[in-house]
Amino acid sequence: MKEPSGLARLGWRLRAQGLPWLRRRLAFEWNTPTTAPGRLLFRLRARLRAMLRRRRGEAPDGDVLYAFLDLDVAPVTYDVLWFIVGAELERRRLGRRRIQFVVVPGRSDGLRDEEEVYEAAVDRDDRHWRLFNLIMPAFSLAGPCGILLAADRDVAAGVFHRQAEVFPPLYHPRQPFFPIPADLLQQAREGADCALLTAPAAARRWVARWAKAESGARRLITITLREYEFMPARNSNLAAWAQFARELDPNRWAVVFLRDTARTADPPPPELAGLRILPEASWVVSLRMALYEAAFLNLGVSGGPMMLCHFGGRTRSLMFKIITEDVPQSSTAYVTSLGFTPGETPPTAARGQRWVWEDDDLPTIRREFLAAVRDLDEGGEDSG
């Protein structure tokens, strides 16, 4: 006999197992909700507890906002930048002095479970490496902060229960979630400035010394490549980008390529022969950010690293190939579900940043580059 669903299932189970089952089920739902109403009630209770703690003055440090990045649901990718910018906006809204980021280990070897196809391309060792070399260094791009990598979920829960206000506002260790871009996009539409990330001073000095020797008085252009084994249809058009770089006047422009981090240890592909590559910027997040800030213009296809440009207050950029219909995670339907409007540069972008909703073929790159240079020059932007 097939078990019914919904309310019919509830009635069926109640008739079959009686009130003892109902009491057990309600107790379980109260502590570990699995239904939409249960999760809503759980989060409302969490907000009520926070309000009561705040009224009683139980918050250990009212000058600090605790932001919980829960790896049980969060990806170990540059998508964390949306989380970081959201936390910084919340800090400013609450008038807190600084952020304490708390990294909460996931239940699966400290991470979240991934689909097999992703696991094959980026295994757990790779993701643990990214945690320490991408995620945690990225926190400092929003300014001075504290970083706690909790030993386990119980430690993180202990920190959580002492706070009156947290980010995300409705976060709870038993009901973790990772904010989607739509949350931040809505704040930007209401006037929030999301260009909040900047490179540390030491990284900017390092890049300034490098740029002085490398480009001199020429304008610096960066080209960020996607060369990923996962969803290769989204990768950069290497031939087009290489040809574009070679066409630029070397007396006016200094072009540097940033390869996909996973490819920096490999020999350059034939298309990039003789072109400048800076692997250090692919390895160190703060150097990458500083290089983007130093450049006259940054170009690349849609991907995590380019979001550093998107959230940078000192960066100008063109990002191509937003849509790849054959890839579910970059289809028009999926991108729209995240809150983006196809054909438009998101409101989270700062001046001098543009999303190009076309493939990165050579004619499109040429056209958009010339238009961007003209706009930046006519707008009186710093010439780099």
- Summarize the confidence of residues 345-355 as an average pLDDT: 96
Who wins on pLDDT, 363 or 36? Answer: 363
Candidates 197, 194, 199; CA nearest to 86 is 194
Q: Alpha-carbon distance 84 to 145, whole Å?
A: 11
- Summarize the confidence of residues 122-141 as an average pLDDT: 96
- The average confidence (pLDDT) of the chain is 90
- Summarize the confidence of residues 241-260 as an average pLDDT: 98
At 348, the pLDDT band (50, 70, 90 cuts) reads: very high
- Summarize the confidence of residues 271-281 as an average pLDDT: 97
Name the E strands within the chain.
Answer: 64-70, 98-104, 145-149, 166-167, 219-224, 253-258, 297-301, 317-320, 353-355
Q: Alpha-carbon distance 335 to 346, whole Å?
A: 12
At 46, the pLDDT band (50, 70, 90 cuts) reads: low
pLDDT tens profile 61-95: 579 999 999 999 999 999 999 999 999 999 999 99
- Whether the pLDDT of residue 139 is over 50: the answer is yes
Q: Tokens 């290769």: give the residue.
A: 232
Backbone angles phi, psi at 201, to 5 degrees: -60, -40
- Summarize the confidence of residues 104-111 as an average pLDDT: 96
At 41, the pLDDT band (50, 70, 90 cuts) reads: confident
Q: Alpha-carbon distance 111 to 176, whole Å?
A: 13
For the record, the structure tokens of 207 come out as 């890049």
- Model pTM score: 0.86
Give the DSSP letter string of 317-367.
EEEE----TTSGGGSHHHHHHTT--TTS--TT--TTEEE--S---HHHHHH
Helix axes 36-56, 6-31, angle to 10 degrees: 20
Q: Alpha-carbon distance 220 to 293, whole Å?
A: 10
Backbone angles phi, psi at 380, to 5 degrees: 75, 20
- Whether the pLDDT of residue 196 is over 60: the answer is yes
Q: Which of 36-40, 72-76, 98-102 has the lowest mean pLDDT?
A: 36-40
- pLDDT attached to residue 17: 72
| Partners of residue 43 on adjacent β-strands | none
Pairing between strand 98-104 and 64-70?
parallel
- pLDDT attached to residue 177: 86
For the record, the structure tokens of 266 come out as 């490999």
Buried-state track 259-293, b at ≥16 Cβ within 10 A, e below 16 = bbbbbbeeebeebbeeeebbeebbebbbbbbbbbb
